Structure 1
Amino acid sequence: MHRHERHARHAPGGIPLSRIITAAVPAHGHVGPLLAISADLVARGHEVVFLGGARFAGAAEKAGVRFVALPVEADFDDRDLDARFPGRSEVPAGPERIAFDVKHVFTEPIPAQYGALEKLLAEFPAEAVIADAFFQGALALALSRPREERPVVVCIGVAPLVFQSVDTAPFGLALAPLPGEAGRARNRALNEEMNRRAEPLQRYAEEVFAGLGVKLPEGPRGNAMVTVPDEFLQLTVPGFEYPRSDAPAAIRMIGALPSVVGNEHLLPAWWRELDGSRPVVVVTQGTLANADLGDLVAPAVTALADRDVLVIAATARKDGPEALTALLGELPGNVRAAGYVPFDLLLPHADVLVSNGGYGGVHTALRYGVPLVVAGASEDKPEVAARVQWSGAGLDLRTGRPEPADVARAVDEVLADGRFRECARALGAELAEHRPFDTIAELVESLGR
């Protein structure tokens, strides 16, 4: 019997059980979705091992998932990428920073990721590998041998889709689609220029994969992230992703993962003020790019100090309230600062979310029909911000460090113009039509049929 042939193991209801490896690059926004998927599959009776960064061992244990650490060559602390990757801080944000990250953060670790997968498969013969789309050791596994001789490889899109298309500008430019032939002509020219500039990076990636004995398919590297896996599941809905007439059928948009809300949260004393007596504006820089609250949280708090709104500054830092107070001297009377606060409890009370554009946080807002003002400059955040404005669900300030006056104008506009909330609610209804955990589980459970 081949090592990946299924043993006859079934849950009490007769559903075939699967052995599954889940994997993610060691960054919070990538690990969170994969651990949520892992926990759901474990709850359904499947045997799951999560392969990830050492600092997430505790989170995996809390999720009830067996944990295996990545080798040090593939591990890093996403809270301080500049320290782990010398020279990164000197690269301007935007396409140049994205190119740096593609090479050093996402391509250099591929051999170590692939080696870790192979080592784990030798003692845990999984039927499926479910990986964050940026964990590209999974692509090497998919290319390494015929489908019948390896696990099914499923990649999860945890950031805006990078597939290059005649209908879109290249990823990283944060340009919304233009209609008609003029738009396609623009995109062709921009894509050609981007591919020309990216040729050294493309050759480098091909060499890395060749060193593992596999060959990347022809075409842009970002397209291989979608076309190489057996399944590609994007955590969004069509209303929030640019249409691509040339996209492969392998891309399935399955909705956003719901957050898990426990009962361990002690709500702050100001929670009773969320009574609908005045508009609520939530401000956040997410869980990654929040080292300097002067980027967005402080300007937004300053901007809204004289408005008849309740401002919740969700800093996602234990020392966040103190750090914000130190920046501003004192907090305006209409501001309530918090460290960690569950968005699934808070956002149903919100009228606007001012965000730096984290993919998961934006989708959480949309699930509750909350319109947005977005100001993000790092990672994929400009692309997320551009989609917020394109979808009609909010405004993109096109900077990561806006002036208070610009934040004030944008919040005033979003509060005053009901079309933003209408669009956000429409996206919320579209998201509600999807059951991503069920979709993933049905895919896994179909392996034995």
Structure 2
Amino acid sequence: MAKIIVTAGPVPGHVVPLAAVAADLTERGHEVLFYTGAQFEGQARRTGARFAPYPAEVEPTSAEFQAAFLEREKLAPFDRMTFDLTRFGADPAPVHDKRLQELLAEFPATVVISDLTSFGTMPLALRAPRGERPLLVYIGMAPPPFDSVDTAPFGPGLLPPTTDEERARYNGMRVQMGAMFADAQEHIEAVFSSMGVTLPGFFFNAMATVPDHLLQLTVPAFEYPRSDAPQGFRFIGSLPAAPDRDFERPDWWADLSSDRPVVVVTQGTAENNDLSQLVVPTLRALADADVTVVAATGRADGPDAVRTEMADEIPANVHLAGFVPFEQLLPLADVLVTNAGYGGVQTALRHGVPLVVAGETEDKPEVAARVEWSGTGVNLHTARPEVAAVRIAVDEVLNDPQYRKCAGEIQRQYAEYRPFDAIAEIVERAAAVG
């Protein structure tokens, strides 16, 4: 039996996949401690793991955090990205580092499993060589951010270079982006120095080179080839979410099995404060289409927010929902219209569902670019598409079988992977050695 600490950033997109990992490891007989925000205690304990909450000062419910989030909402996309990396990523890292050391003293884990953006776990690997510390395993639940000669710089959502001219242009962009991220790099380096460790190079690269393993939650067909990927980088497929046995299917669920195509639209569970960005334009775009539309708003008051935004003029072919388990919904869908959240896109492709993507913040331009590159959907290149653009894109995906074919090919590749077995193998090998 191994002892494992699993830690996840306190947002559903991070907690859900790592809760699935924790549940699988406890079912295999391992002892797991789940460290995350207090609001996810129930979800963490349902995995069979012990639970350790974040210290109060880094809880997302704290007044300081809430004030920072309101400040973030006013920023442009690039400034929002650097804000997230510094304020939400680096600044809490010393608190998490200290708490993890305390937890390891009480619970001597041989492996720490974390999400990709967890700066607070990096010092574990930077303080001591492998073999003298817990193995650090990152789960890649966002596109790989590390630099490569075979890709464009991470962030703008550019496709890989195909000519020498593009490679030269991308190299020039790397210099420019280094300057753009200089303040964030300096800030993050200072935070790491305060923890008594040195950040090894550019922070995006450190996310891949510091952990012993970076296990990417996708398949090669959805990711740009890299001839210079770090040694610990590998694909493991996508993690299915635990079944939501508490979900009661609404009365309209039977409509999803009719002859009409089903279009699902969502802005995920994070960037859904303003549903006029994508949900409302999609409902208006498809109001007179011969399709059934499900708006999965990702928030309890989402249906009411949509009704208010549309002055209660909800098209007859639309069903509004708060939280809907995608594992149950997407097998019935023909298209997913999404703001390009990585987890939702992977779930759609695991079910062979093609996409229409529209996203500008965080890693969403990179996710959208991979949808375009893989041929699995249409990239609208904006977070606020025009109604007409959404209609054209949905019609294109529904009417061109190539999108469904490409999504189906990726679906078949997913079936070849056993992500839980891959993680368990690493855990059990580390336990046998240590």
Please tell me the TM-score bracket, short chain as reference: over 0.9
Task: Tell whether 2:34 aligns with 1:50.
Answer: yes
8 Å CA contact 1:373, 1:397 repeated in 2: yes
Structure 1 residue 77, shift from structure 2 partner: 4.8
- Other-structure match for 1:21: 5
| Counterpart Cα distance in 1 of 2:298 and 2:74 | 26
- Map Cα deviations across residues 303-362 of structure 1 (whole Å, 9 max, x no partner): 000111111111122222222222212211111112222211111111111111111111
- Other-structure match for 1:31: 15
- Map Cα deviations across residues 114-160 of structure 1 (whole Å, 9 max, x no partner): 10110101111111111111111211110011222211111111111
| Counterpart Cα distance in 1 of 2:377 and 2:143 | 17
SS in 2 for 1:153: strand
- Other-structure match for 1:246: 228
Task: Tell whether 2:416 aligns with 1:433.
Answer: yes
357 and 163 in structure 1: CA distance in 2 versus 1, 3 angstrom threshold = same
SS in 1 for 2:4: strand
- Other-structure match for 1:166: 149
| Counterpart Cα distance in 1 of 2:382 and 2:67 | 24
RMSD of the TM alignment (CA)? Answer: 1.7
Give the aligned length.
430
| Counterpart Cα distance in 2 of 1:183 and 1:43 | 49
- Map Cα deviations across residues 1-60 of structure 1 (whole Å, 9 max, x no partner): xxxxxxxxxxxxxxxx10000112222211221111111111111000011112111211
| Counterpart Cα distance in 1 of 2:215 and 2:259 | 41
8 Å CA contact 1:167, 1:244 repeated in 2: yes
Q: Which amino acid aligns with 1:386?
A: A
- Other-structure match for 1:364: 347
| Counterpart Cα distance in 2 of 1:224 and 1:318 | 37
| Counterpart Cα distance in 2 of 1:427 and 1:137 | 34
SS in 2 for 1:341: coil
Equivalent of residue 423 in structure 1, options 389, 393, 406: 406
- Other-structure match for 1:201: 184
- Map Cα deviations across residues 100-120 of structure 1 (whole Å, 9 max, x no partner): 211111111111111011010
- Map Cα deviations across residues 339-394 of structure 1 (whole Å, 9 max, x no partner): 22221111111111111111111111001110000112222222211111111100
Task: Tell whether 2:266 aligns with 1:266.
Answer: no
Instruction: Map 1:104-253 onto structure 2 (within 5 A).
Output: 104-217=87-200, 219-253=201-235
SS in 2 for 1:129: strand
- Map Cα deviations across residues 245-296 of structure 1 (whole Å, 9 max, x no partner): 2212211111110122243321111111122411111111111111221111
Task: Tell whether 2:289 aligns with 1:307.
Answer: yes
8 Å CA contact 1:167, 1:183 repeated in 2: no
Task: Tell whether 2:320 aligns with 1:337.
Answer: yes
| Counterpart Cα distance in 2 of 1:132 and 1:292 | 26
75 and 82 in structure 1: CA distance in 2 versus 1, 3 angstrom threshold = closer
Structure 1 residue 180, shift from structure 2 partner: 3.0
Equivalent of residue 317 in structure 1, options 296, 299, 306: 299
- Other-structure match for 1:12: none
Report the identity percentage.
52
Equivalent of residue 76 in structure 2, options 92, 106, 109: 92
Per mean C-alpha deviation after superposition, the further-off stretch among 348-357 and 378-387 is 378-387
Structure 1 residue 85, shift from structure 2 partner: 4.3
With normalisation by structure 2, the TM-score equals: 0.95
Q: Which amino acid aligns with 1:169?
A: A
Structure 1 residue 72, shift from structure 2 partner: 3.0
Structure 1 residue 63, shift from structure 2 partner: 2.4
Task: Tell whether 2:52 aligns with 1:68.
Answer: yes
Q: Which amino acid aligns with 1:198?
A: F
SS in 2 for 1:165: coil
Q: Which amino acid aligns with 1:65?
A: A
Equivalent of residue 368 in structure 2, options 367, 385, 395: 385
292 and 91 in structure 1: CA distance in 2 versus 1, 3 angstrom threshold = closer
Task: Tell whether 2:33 aligns with 1:59.
Answer: no
8 Å CA contact 2:218, 2:236 repeated in 1: yes
Structure 2 gap ranges (5+): none
- Other-structure match for 2:277: 295
8 Å CA contact 2:59, 2:65 repeated in 1: no
| Counterpart Cα distance in 2 of 1:232 and 1:77 | 30
Structure 1 gap ranges (5+): 1-16
